[in-house]
Chain A
Amino acid sequence: MTKSSFSNIQSEYLAVIDHNKCVRCKRCIQNCGWGTYSFGGDKIIADHSKCVACGRCYTYCPEGAISIIKNPTVIRENANWQEPLVKNIWRQSETGGIVISGMGTTFKYKKYFDHILLDACQVTNPSIDPLREPMELRTFLGKKPSKLDFDFDERGEPVLKTKMPPQIELQTPFVFGAMSYGSISLNAQKAMALAARALGIVMNTGEGGLHDDLVPFGKNIIVQVASGRFGVHRDYLNSGVAVEIKIGQGAKPGIGGHLPGEKIGIDISRTRMIPVGTDAISPAPHHDIYSIEDLRQLIYAIKEATDYEKPVSVKVAAVHNIAAIVSGIVRAGADIVYIDGYSGGTGAAPIVIRDHVGIPIELALAQVDERLREEGIRNEASIIAAGSIRSSADAIKAIALGADAVAIGTAALIVMGCHVCGKCNTGNCSWGITTQRPELVRRLDPEVYGERLYNLISAWSHEIQEVLGAMGVNSIESLRGSRERLRGIELTDAELKALGIKHAGL
């Protein structure tokens, strides 16, 4: 087949330069990771087809001379044959390939968090003012015994007899979601590590191993073991506060990952323990886990390797039968289960998977929490909910539905400048986040963005305290799983039942 010399796919955005304002400083050329801009001798020229609307150029244009606008040239409107579908057909007919994208789904599925309302106190019980009264957010992740036993000392005072399983202590119920070195830059990981340490929470290495620079942050790191086993060795397992086995990810349940060889430079090669320039392929399943009993073996192999001093977390994507799956995971010995909903982010995923596989975190979480309670094993593992937690309100609702903590991925990247352009897979991120190009990575200052991450999580924590106070409780454990404080709006009976909440007004 001969290759067609032109593409049907027109640029999505136009990079419009106001040449009256432009002083030809060429910062846009420097800043754009996509090569949109070039200098045409007397003025800046934009190649619109390369623009992804990542926002870097106009943020850094000193004259405000750049506008990024949606290409007004229409593809004939059709509610059935929508523009992205038509474009993907062209794209695939030109390449013969799977369409890959970064970030979570762009589909407009129902967002259940936006159909849940919170309760507050009026008259019969007082609200509590978080500015004047203590308001506790401290959270412990890990297995809890169902009861405690006591001994008594010579004075008859009770002494704890039960040996508590290891716990991760969080000062506020947030963790940073798993994003590997390779999928994101080292500077992006460092920003999260700095913030996690200052906040008393944890970040997660993802499956890319632990870079030497992050070793000192061990008390604020969960290390991950995924199907590729990149960078996994004994010291690695013992270098964080917990170990996470990644089975699946909300954006791409059931499939693995692929970091192309051109991104594997010397540093990533060392960290992942693979040769420079080789593709880093994470198989779809763990090839030593073909069933739940195999998972149990891996959980206990890790516990043996870490002397039973670290909780073991298992991360799964929210799929149809999630409640039964999580029940199995808990019974297999996991101390924490991390559930990632279908709108969770990714560095790269086929859009057919990203946009069509999995279920919303709200429904998955509600069902899992209920199932574990019915089986009397809710105490056996903590639950982390993830999959586009966009605000403190989402976090509060997730916790009231039954989560112990929530994970923040995309929101953390947005802090670092991400405009959710969805092109993480290309490695050209102008913000220095999802790229390994040194000139782009360098621009992401870990200290600056570490502080902004700190600010965001602090702000959200204050908002949670405000809501707790309005609800008349002064401790996060009184919100956790307290669905009586939630009401649904514009939801069907089936949806309300799946969420385990009542409709507003009832």
Chain B
Amino acid sequence: MLKIKNKFNTERDISGCGLCGIINAKKVKTNGSDIKKAISVEHDRGNGLGGGFAVYGNYPDYADLYAFHIMYDNLSAKSDVEEYLRNNFIIEKEEPIPTFKTAKIYDHPYLHRYFIKPKSDRQDKLFHDLEDDDFVVNSVMLINQNYDGAYVFSSGKNMGAFKGVGYPEDVADFYRLEEIEGYMWTAHNRFPTNTPGWWGGAHPFTLLDWSIVHNGEISSYGINKRYLEMYKYNLALRTDTEVITYILDLLIRKHKIPVRLALSVLAFPFYNKIDKMENDKKMLFTALRQVYGSALLNGPFAIVFGYSGGMVAMNDRIKLRPLVAASNGDFTYVASEEAAIRAVCQSPDMVWSPKAGEPVAVEFDDIKEKTSLKGGLLSL
């Protein structure tokens, strides 16, 4: 229980942080050494109590399967969860997540991964007719809530989260990220202020293909949480990152709101700007604020959000946290500090500081071609 669940009686976890993201629009893969180098420049933005990475494109051989990364406090939790998985999923492959002893990461939980897909005749089908994605979300919430000593920290396809307690560069060594290849990376260095060493609380937070790294404190957490609970989300972790992930899941996956608009919900334009828009647009944004007002993330944040279609980085509506972006050929970099980008890309084509509430959104080229035919559902 000590390692993966938050044992502190707090309504939620608060932390300051550093973050980085690297994406190649053509899906050219790089190994984890660049992201490690970049985030290590932001060493002082964390305090050694949480570091983590998300990588996309790292499981090409199992790209159609949900890759569950689960941390266990003990082996009895493992056998309980595995019984649940066996009853509901076809498990194609399972193995311990490869880790390497380092002096700086110690006392870690048992880390295991499973490549699985929901059974078509699972018991659950008697009561619901859930899509696979919904069933996976429900299963993740169920395990995290009801199975003591077990925590699913990654559940997407062809992507994975690797995180733990420690500085991110040490976590990178622990998982030996230089041996992993992917076309999109995000990284996080955590500075928690009220919850020491807690493996589950490290970033990125992921759900299906969503992964979020986040620097900030959501001052509207209370209402964001209650809003999500109305849609049956179970906010077990009590972290801001969890709230952001679920809001995006609700808006983009469940309500099918175009990504660009969903992002504007997180950092609504001010009414004085909306009032000056032309009529259709004004109606659209007024309606968005009326309907999704409780989903607005108020308070300081910079987030980097990865999904199967690309990467988005953005700030809150008055830019209370740092965020810098740079592009170099097909690569786009985002980070809390420009120095982190310069560490891996000395002279980018362009470096800029995104405006408050305006997302830096990069889509993979193959997605762009596909979606332009569909009327731009994901047009960014």
Contact = CB atoms under 8 A, between A and B. Distances in A.
Interface of A: 121, 123-126, 128, 133-134, 136, 138, 140, 144-150, 152, 156-160, 162, 164, 167, 373, 376, 378-379, 471-475, 477-485, 502, 506
A376 B296 CA distance: 19
Interface stretch (B58-66, B98-106, B344-352, B371-379): B371-379
B255 interface: yes
Most chain A beta-carbon neighbours within 10 Å: one of B231, B271, B293: B293
B231 A156 contact: no
Given A478-B223, A484-B11, A128 B291 contact: no
Given A138-B271, A481-B294, A125 B216 contact: yes
A-B residue pairs, 7 tightest by C-beta: A484-B222, A156-B376, A477-B293, A482-B222, A478-B220, A478-B298, A472-B219
Contacts of B261: 150, 158
B309 interface: no
Contacts of B229: 373
Contacts of B284: 158-160
Nearest to A373: B230
A125 B230 contact: no
A373 B225 CA distance: 11
B221 interface: yes
Contact of A474 (B15, B258, B292, B298): B298
Contacts of B377: 152
Contact of A158 (B216, B258, B294): B258
Contacts of B376: 152, 156-157
Given A160-B284, A474-B317, 6 more contacts: A128-B318, A148-B257, A373-B230, A480-B294, A481-B227, A482-B222
Given A134-B270, A474-B317, A475-B296, A152 B375 contact: yes
13 contacts: A124-B14, A124-B217, A125-B216, A140-B290, A145-B291, A146-B291, A158-B261, A162-B287, A164-B287, A482-B220, A483-B222, A484-B221, A485-B222
A159 B287 CA distance: 11
A167 B290 contact: yes
B290 A144 contact: yes
B299 A136 contact: no
B300 A126 contact: yes
Contacts of B289: 477
Given A138-B271, A477-B289, A482 B230 contact: no
A133 B318 contact: yes
A461 to B, nearest CB: 14
A482 B14 contact: no
B196 to A, nearest CB: 15
Interface in B255-284: 255-258, 260-261, 268, 270-272, 280, 283-284
Interface in B275-329: 280, 283-284, 287-294, 296, 298-300, 317-318, 320
Nearest to A133: B318
Contacts of B230: 373, 376, 378-379
A156 B217 contact: no
Nearest to B283: A160
B257 to A, nearest CB: 7
Contacts of A123: 193
A165 to B, nearest CB: 10
Most chain A beta-carbon neighbours within 10 Å: one of B14, B223, B225, B283: B223
